[in-house]
A and B are shown apart, each in its own frame.
Chain A
Amino acid sequence: MCKQDKAKTAEVEPSRRSFLTKLWIGLGFIALIEFIWVVIAFLRPRKPRLSEANAEAIITAGPVESFAPASVTAFVRGRFYLSRQEDGGFLALSRKCTHLGCTVPWVEKENKFECPCHASAFDITGNVISPPAPRALDIYKVFIENNIVKVDTDKLIKRSEFRAEQVTYPKKFNND
């Protein structure tokens, strides 16, 4: 009886032990993953509080008439350019170069945006005139309320090139 028991445990034990070892290793891995997850969650960029965000994100640019057609106006606080097209439509262009993120100035004389960093150039619609920039300038949503132009700087819209439906038109232009 006693002898039999011993034989049995000798048989069972190695596998039971290796099972427990595996269990511990598995638990260790889970703990490690949890730790990494906590660290990443902790460091993840936080969204600004809603009320603050709303108040700051929507920028009132001004009445439609104050922007001449085929002109570009810089808004330093919103970090964008309000670009009015020849046909009267509005585009809000991000000032960040799509190549490596430099700030692009509007060069009035040459009628284009010229990046000082690696010489990319963009036209008034944000389209790439000369590389290395791979995409047209990002845009923000423009909306016109009671003839006042406003820009929602909360969401950056990425695009590969300029298309007509990206332009926002004031009411009277829309009608004719």
Chain B
Amino acid sequence: MTQARTTLFSRIRNSIFWAPILPQNERERKKFLLNNLILHFRPRTIPEQTLKFTHTWGLGGIAAALVMLLFLTGIMLKFIYEPFPGRAYDSIILLQQDVWFGQFIRNIHHWSANILVVVVFLHMVRVFFTGAFHPPRQFNWIIGLILFFLIIISNFTGYLLPWDQLAFWAITICTSMFEYIPGVGMWLQKLIRGGAEIGPESLKTFFTLHSAIVPACLITLMPFHFWRVRKARGVVTPRSLRDKSEPAVIKVPTVPDLILRELVVALVLIAFILVFSIIFNAPLEDKANPGLSPNPAKAPWYFLGMQELLLHFHPLFAVFIIPIFVIGFLILLPYFKYDSDVTGFWFISQKGRRMAMVSAFCAVIATPIWIIADESFIDFTAWLPGLPTVISNGLLPVVIVAVVVIGFYLLIKKKYAATKNEALQAVFVLLLVSFIILTLTGIWFRGQGMALSWPWQVGVME
């Protein structure tokens, strides 16, 4: 092509896009992918089996799309929002009443953030149950955990920003939990609050974390996470439980097979969020009043599992020792020794599936019974008046629960003549479902004074 025959427009276009914008054939598609900054994170071809929606449920992609929505709306909110206790609440009111689409943008930010927590959690569960954390994906599990942590921090720091009663007391309660961490607890609490109590310093700190530090971490770690998926030759190849032989790999081109599917999922997601945000407004209560605590005062919903633990165990165990064990377990998970290669099977095996079902059933029955029993008549503190409460209300019940869980492991392993992998998975399901039930109890079944009650008696809490 000689210079003479091109137009100014086509010369500019060709300088921006080295490849055709809408590729027509195989060769152009290949070029399109390699010459696109974002797309070249993807392999050129992928195994056909991995495309099935029920393999990944598109959860990682949905999470990424939600983060993008949050960045977009978050930056827009920043134009209106003022991070000072006297003005924050009023700026939200201004946003909702006087700014065009202000309420709408806030709703999108609010609902995307909350849905993101659920989506990332489900993504992690999917990765676990398809065995996608085994080599070579071990370290990507760790990166994922850090991403999860960042998402929780984003949500938590964002929660304070509207500076209404809900925000103020939820953050007061959560940061008070730090006091129970031995040694560094008080120091850590002061650092996070920027003083002894939630005040102007806290709001400034939270806003900086929320709108600069955490987004910067997210935007660097997410591409790292994706790149690792590519380096592991894409997501795990699903394997069928009936036919255990290595599946024949049929490769299909990423563009368009994968990209079009991702676009469809993203568009459906965005449509859903937009409709949801038109119908439901993000909650906003009265302006924060440090002299008046609401009844009941609850942590943000994703921490209610922990707050529920706090009602049953001594704080040292509820907010420190138990979480340390859970986090330690999640970090070490890819590095344990496993009997067999189970990467790519949903729930390891047919037996694994049955055991997971039994475990879930046990948890659904046992957890509510335990909650009600502990609420109504179990009272180690009163039964053992001589012991300090750390022992009677902490160590003792925790040891009892641990013994029950270990007993469950041995029993189910023997009953099903299962492998270590399968039995461990059963215990994981047991704890996972219990945790979900604890969280739901905290959200819907805790009313005034945190007493057990029905959702319709308290009104559903956000």
Binary A-proximity of B257-297 (CB < 8 A = 1, otherwise 0):
00000000000000000000000000000000011111111
Q: Assess whether A118 is interfacial by the CB under 8 Å rule.
A: yes
Q: What's the tally of chain A residues with a CB closer than 8 Å to chain B?
A: 22
Decide: B315 and A76 in contact? CB cutoff 8 A: no
Complex Cα distance, B169 from A115, in Å, reads 13
Q: Which residues of A contact B205 (CB under 8 A)?
A: 43
Minimum C-beta distance from B210 to chain A (A) = 15
- Contact A118 to B296, CB < 8 A, known contacts A100-B173, A101-B173, A103-B290: yes
Band of interface residues on B: 20 to 34
Q: Which residues of A contact B20 (CB under 8 A)?
A: none
Q: Assess whether A14 is interfacial by the CB under 8 Å rule.
A: no
Complex Cα distance, B172 from A103, in Å, reads 10
Decide: A40 and B191 in contact? CB cutoff 8 A: yes
Within 8 A of A (CB), among B173-225: 173, 175-177, 190-191, 193-196, 201, 205
| Residues of B contacting A: mostly | helix
Q: Assess whether B49 is interfacial by the CB under 8 Å rule.
A: no
Decide: B201 and A103 in contact? CB cutoff 8 A: no
Decide: A44 and B191 in contact? CB cutoff 8 A: yes
Decide: A103 and B292 in contact? CB cutoff 8 A: yes
Given contacts A115-B293, A116-B296, A117-B173, 13 further A-B contacts (CB under 8 A): A43-B191, A44-B191, A45-B191, A45-B195, A79-B290, A95-B291, A100-B172, A101-B175, A102-B293, A116-B293, A118-B450, A134-B315, A156-B196
Residues of A within 8 A of B (CB): 40, 43-45, 76, 79, 95, 99-104, 115-119, 131-132, 134, 156
Which 3 pairs of residues, A with B, have the shortest CB-CB distance?
Answer: A119-B449, A116-B295, A102-B293
29 residue pairs A–B, Cβ–Cβ below 8 Å? A43-B205, A45-B193, A45-B195, A76-B291, A99-B176, A100-B297, A100-B310, A101-B172, A101-B175, A101-B176, A102-B169, A102-B173, A102-B293, A103-B291, A103-B292, A116-B294, A116-B295, A116-B296, A116-B297, A117-B173, A117-B295, A117-B297, A117-B449, A118-B449, A119-B449, A119-B451, A131-B381, A134-B315, A156-B196
